[in-house]
Structure 1
Amino acid sequence: MKLFQKLLLAPAALGLLAPVAANAADVNIAGLSQYGPSSASGRAAEQVTSITQFSDVQPTDWAYQALSNLIERYGCVAGYPNGTYRGNRAMTRYEAAALLNACLDRITEVTDELKRLMKEFERELAVLRGRVDGLEARVGELEATQFSTTTKLRGQSTFVLGALNFGGTNTTSRDLYNQRQGGTTFNYDVRLNFDTSFTGTDLLRTTLRTGNFSSSGFGNGRYPWQLEAAFQECTIGYDCENTLNVNRLFYRFNASKDIVLGVGGLIRQDDLLAMWPSVYPADSILDFFTRAGAPGAYSLNLGSGAGGWLKKGDWSLSASYIAATGNAGNPSGWGRDKGGIGTRYSNATGSVQLGYQKEQWGAAALYNYTTPFDYSQVYGGGATRAAAFVPAIADSTNSFALSAYWQPSNAGLVPSISAGWGWNSSNGFSASTLPNVSYLKPVFSNWKGNITSQSWSVGLQWDDVLVKGNELGMGVGQMTFITSGIDLPATDGNYAWEWWYKLQMTDNISVTPALFYQSRPYGAVSGRRSDNPTSTFSALGGLIKTTFKF
């Protein structure tokens, strides 16, 4: 006998076994007839189909739900002719026997129906049973072999085969850079992301990264054409050639429904933004096009920091502070050992972004404050050699960005559009802080106070081009160029273009051939390497990038 049948039988059986004598006078003959055999026209008139037919049964009664189940599920409860149930009246053994018999008849009918259904779908049930057993075995195997119950591993390996060619009327710069960086190279970049969650809403990210770009023509963040968000991205000022390094280490969690906070020893500016104001892919080609048109504001500074965001509806407000050399104990000086948090030489950025995001479009405004910053990290991917040193010798640099994007609801002839503009103002220069670099001295010797610079970019992307899953992209813009504050000996145009076509070979493998061009990769400074300061100097590059994701 099934368990639910036993449970149903128990109350009635207790009534049958109760040692209380019942005589004929105690038996409710009318009540027994309600549970008797049905007439030719059906059950007795007092048989009910809904508990609401009982005038004396209320939802507040303690047995209301049990009585409702017996009526609606099994249809084996009857009442008195006057529409009452009389739930407080004592039940005789005869009545209990009649009620039990009626309910068991109904349960038998239901059981027979189930047996017929099981017989009819016997083959399908056997297949489902086999699948469930197989899934249970696979789950058990995965649980036994997983390296962590809280961590997921995602990896990406990238091969880049490419070369650069320099041209223009500045023969000195052209020949020099073709000798230094004009060879065809085959490079790699590997990233391993370990994403850990302890509560389901938090994130502890540990990223390991290595590569061998630092000796290639594409550089290691040293040159303005650095590729794809700085392949083989390293801590500022260090060479990580073929060395496995920790590239990210931060913890982010929900402080409340609307507030997310993050902190880390190696955290990047975009890790602390509620939204990114561009849909142009970050895995395109030139690093400049991954910075929403404003590499001064969206510097992607990487180091010790903290921040978070508040999100209400479509609006978000993000804020962060990151010190690129916040791990070093020397709060002054020049070189790799400078650092500290909140010092002049923290290589720090403080950012505030206001964003608005809908399903198909979004926009953001960001302000970024920069302390004296070494090398070209703030203007990475788009800096002229002159502009690259501006934040290093200034007391501070204020950067502002306006960026937005729109994407169509369906793939077609209309591409997604991402655009951005950036403006930077550096002030408080001191000749004593100027790097001892011969070709920079003549440029900065004639500054006129504050130095301002700008940048802009537009990125277009088409989905499902020729074959479903393939993508076509084009980016054009003007990388960080000085607009005032220095008498430049040549036009500091620094235009950039890139064209690429991504072939999605499988779900995990893609191949992307690409071309890119820069009109004046070193801006005004390149003119200082020739007797003719107004001569032209350009760079043309091509590559084939193969990406493996696992």
Structure 2
Amino acid sequence: MKLFQQLLVAPAALGLLAPLAVVNSPAANAAELNINDVSDYAATASGNSLDQVTSVTQFSDVYPTDWAYQALANLVETYGCVAGYPNGTFRGNRAMTRYEAAALLNACLDRITEVTDELRRLLKEFETELAILKGRVDGLEARVGELEATQFSTTTKLSGTSNWVAGATRAKGDNYNTGGEKGARDDWNAKYGGFSFSYDVRLALKTSFSGKDLLYTRLRAGNMYNVFEAAPFVYWPGSLNVYFDTNNVLLVDRFYYRFPLGNSFTVQVGPTTRNTEMMGYKASAYARGGDKVLDFFGGSLGTPGVWNKETGAGFGAFYSNKKQVEKGNPYFTLSASYVADWGEGNDSNPNTGGFMTDNSEGNITTQIAFGNKQWGLAAGYRYGQCGARFRTGTQFALGDSYGTPCTVEVDGKDERTNADSHSWSFHGFWSPEESGWMPSISAGVGASYLNGNDAWKDNTNKRAMASWMVGLTWNDVFLEGNALGYAVGQPQFVYDVEDGFVADGGYAMELWYSFQVTDNIQITPAVYWLSRPFGDNTQNVNGDYKSLGVFGGLVQTTFKF
């Protein structure tokens, strides 16, 4: 080591390490300090007396079991600023003198200087490219500033979904006499057999004030006043899952506020909310990755008695312990809600409507569920006031009131029926961990029981209804992201009457294939069959039960934005 280097290292070490040095006594300092060892170590650290150590394995007294082995390896192999003594040892257990610490620090500073010089060279070499990037960043900052200044809201996000439906239906079976000029089959085809092309569009505004709450506003419009929406019967088995008709007028069909209450409870309240959106858990994997077709298999989950999708003024709460279990493990969900019918809840006349009145057509819905994304089980119950609807069902099951009437005519006067309904459902599903020949399996079964006073019993003979479904879904069919689905079941039908025999049961089936064109466009061709949508009304005047079904085919295109 050159003399001027030794003179330089010594004062630097004394200045840098002064706070470190307090030993037991001057005699101890003198005994521990060997200036020759310091010189040797400093020379080695500077790379003058030995070749620079490039691997920690070059030290004969350093072993992988040493507690500081990894730290020493990083200093040697990454930074190259640690060396040993001329005899190839590191002497890791030996107390370090301040001179040795200064020599080690000096060697590391030399390497840092080299790195700094290399960075300067790279900055000079890529000066033009860095200038271009800086200009782009400045431009992006300016554009972000403009967007922030003109944005709709700092708390609200807009998303949309639009469904185009093109297709037609055809009645098949007996052309029995219905009292008109044409038979039942010909009459259907004459009124509803034409090809149609209609749409449904939904614009969702999601607003959050705290990051955990949600003010949800949805605007919706559609022109499905055709066989796929309500005609010829409101909520009949052929209604599509996306049906909607406003005669092309945009209206608000959802408006509610959802917020957490502690870590496990969530509350939802609003003038236009839906009971099935407060269930907390959907025990079905049917059409997951695809697009549902019939409403009975879609939003109603095959049990329209409980999952009747009642929308109106209401409130609800649901509990979940999902945050208390490990990710992916099954968890419990418990929910309860009250919803008055749309049109009744905002009516201030208690004789025709009202909120939580006798004429609210109210629904109290509860569900308990247990599961995760791969499998799940759920049991549901709904209490329906008079007038509360059963969603999809046969013509005979739904009747003119689509539920239990609040009044009946007795001796020319309207009398209250005190009518209500009690519906229950069970659901379960299972999905394979990976896509393959095995599909996901979803099933649901439910029943509804009708009650009322003597006036009601004397004027109706319907006592109980039931429904069920089984749905299969295959994912990544032919191409990744595409899905194939099939479902079969019986829409809500009457199976128990006060007197006589009822033959109301019929079957519904659908088959579809969803093709994912892009991340935002999906095309779903589908066919379906309704074996007996008129139910017990499928008979002639002589009481013979006839066969009349409806075949449907369509192409549904979904745009998400």
Smaller-chain TM-score bracket: 0.7 to 0.9
> Which of 155, 167, 174 is equivalent to 1:150?
155
**Who is 2:3 aligned against?**
none
Structure 1 counterpart of 2:223, from 212, 215, 219: 212
Closer/same/farther in 2, CA of residues 259 and 126 from structure 1, 3 Å limit: farther
Contact 2:163 2:242 in 1 (8 A): no
Deviation, structure 1 residue 410: 1.2
* Counterpart for residue 280 of structure 1: 286
Q: CA deviation at 1:360?
A: 1.4
Counterpart residue identity of residue 417, structure 1 = I
Hey, what does 1:321 align to over in structure 2? 338
Q: Distance in 2 between matches of 1:138 and 1:171?
A: 72
1:406 to 424, 430, 454: 430
For 1:178-257, list aligned pairs within 5 A: 178-216=189-227, 218-219=229-230, 222-232=234-244, 240-257=246-263
Q: Who is 2:378 aligned against? A: 364
Give secondary structure in 2 for the equivalent of 1:392: coil
Q: What TM-score comes out, normalization by structure 2 length?
A: 0.73
Tell me the distance in 2 between the aligned counterparts of 1:351 and 1:361: 23
In structure 2, what residue type is equivalent to 1:284? K
What CA deviation, in whole Å up to 9, does each residue of 1:23-81 have, x standing for no partner?
xx9xx88889699765467479xxxxxxxxxxxxxxxxxxxxxxxxxxxx9999xxxx9
> Counterpart in 2 of 1:330?
349
The amino acid across from 2:466 in the alignment is Q
Q: After superposition, give the CA deviation of every residue in 1:170-194 in whole Å (9 maximum; x if it has no partner).
A: 3433233323322211111000111
* 1:165 has 2:174 as partner: no
Distance change >3 Å, CA 216–CA 112, structure 1 → 2? same
1:427-506 matches, within 5 Å, as: 427-429=451-453, 431=455, 445=459, 447=461, 451-487=463-499, 491-506=503-518
Deviation at 1:510, TM superposition (A): 1.5
User: Which range moves more in the overlay, 101-110 or 407-416?
Assistant: 101-110
Query: 2:316 touches 2:337 (CA, 8 Å); kept in 1?
Result: yes
Match of 1:354 in 2: 368
Deviations 1:95-141 (A, max 9, x none): 9x998898566434323134336757988998799668746744652
Count matched residues.
471
Counterpart in the other structure of 1:381: 392
| Residue 357 (structure 2) pairs with residue 343 (structure 1) | yes
TM-score when scaled to structure 1? 0.74
Amino acid in the other structure paired with 2:197: F
Q: 1:113 aligns with which of 106, 112, 115?
A: 115
Q: 1:125 to 1:262 in 2, by over 3 A?
A: farther
For 1:317, the aligned partner's letter is L
Distance (whole Å) between structure 2 residues aligned to residue 222 and residue 411 of structure 1: 38
Q: SS state of the match for residue 539, structure 2?
A: helix
Aligned-residue offset at 1:160: 0.7
Distance 1:311 1:131, change over 3 A: farther
- Distance in 2 (CA, whole Å) between partners of 1:522 and 1:534 is 11
Opposite residue 343 of structure 1, the aligned amino acid is T
Shift of 1:494: 2.2
Q: 1:227 to 1:215 in 2, by over 3 A?
A: closer
Task: Report the alpha carbon displacement of residue 321 of structure 1 after superposing the two structures with TM.
Answer: 0.9
| Residues 35 and 99 in structure 1, CA contact (< 8 A), matched pair in contact too | no
Match of 1:289 in 2: 297
- Identity among equivalent positions (%) equals 33
CA contact (8 A) 1:264 1:306 kept: yes
- 1:162/1:184 contact within 8 Å kept: yes
The 1:514–1:134 alpha-carbon spacing in structure 2 relative to 1, beyond 3 Å, is same
Query: Which whole-Å CA distance do the structure 2 matches of 1:177 and 1:75 have between them?
Result: 92
Give the counterpart letter for 1:113 in structure 2.
Answer: V
Shift of the 134–308 alpha-carbon distance from structure 1 to 2, 3 Å rule, reads farther
* Aligned residue among 516, 530, 555 for 1:544: 555
Which of 170, 176, 181 does residue 187 from structure 2 map onto?
Answer: 176
| Alignment partner, residue 59 of structure 2 | none
Which amino acid is 2:118 matched to? R
Q: Distance in 2 between matches of 1:295 and 1:537?
A: 23
Secondary structure of 1:468's match? coil
Whether the 8 Å contact between 2:428 and 2:442 is mirrored in structure 1 is yes
Return closer, same or farther for 1:419/1:34 CA change in 2, 3 Å cut-off.
farther
What root-mean-square deviation, in Å, do the aligned CA atoms of Structure 1 and Structure 2 show? 4.1
**Residue deviations 1:334-358 (CA, integer Å, cap 9, x gap):** xxxx321211221211111110113
Q: Distance in 2 between matches of 1:279 and 1:123?
A: 57
Tell me, yes or no, if the aligned pair for 1:401 and 1:421 is still in contact at 8 Å.
yes
Q: Confirm or deny: 8 A CA contact 1:408 1:415 kept in the other structure.
A: yes
Contact 1:510 1:546 in 2 (8 A): yes
Match of 1:423 among 426, 431, 447: 447
Indicate conservation of the 8 Å contact 2:443/2:469, yes or no: yes
Structure 1 portions without partners, runs of 5+: 1-8, 17-24, 45-72, 86-94, 233-238, 333-337, 435-443
Query: How far apart, in 1, do the equivalents of 2:318 and 2:161 lie?
Result: 28
Instruction: Report whether the alignment pairs 1:300 with 2:309.
Output: yes
Could you say if the C-alpha distance between residues 115 and 84 of structure 1 is closer, same or farther in structure 2, counting changes exceeding 3 Å? closer
In 1, distance between residues paired with 2:496 and 2:306? Answer: 18
Inter-partner Cα distance in structure 2 for 1:136 and 1:308 = 48
Name whichever of 519-528 and 219-228 sits farther off. Answer: 219-228
- Once residues 126 and 446 of structure 2 are traced to their aligned partners in structure 1, the CA distance between those partners, rounded to angstroms, is 63
8 Å contact 1:370–1:396 — kept in the other structure? Answer: yes
Q: Distance in 1 between matches of 2:134 and 2:170?
A: 60
- CA displacement at 1:143 relative to structure 2: 5.3
How many Å separate the matches in 2 of 1:132 and 1:278? 51
- Structure 2: stretches of 5+ with no match in the other structure: 1-11, 20-25, 47-78, 84-92, 179-183, 326-330, 407-417
- The structure-2 alpha-carbon separation of the partners of 1:263 and 1:98, relative to structure 1 and needing over 3 Å to count, comes to same
CA, structure 1 residues 491+231, in 2 after alignment: closer, same or farther (shift >3 Å)? same
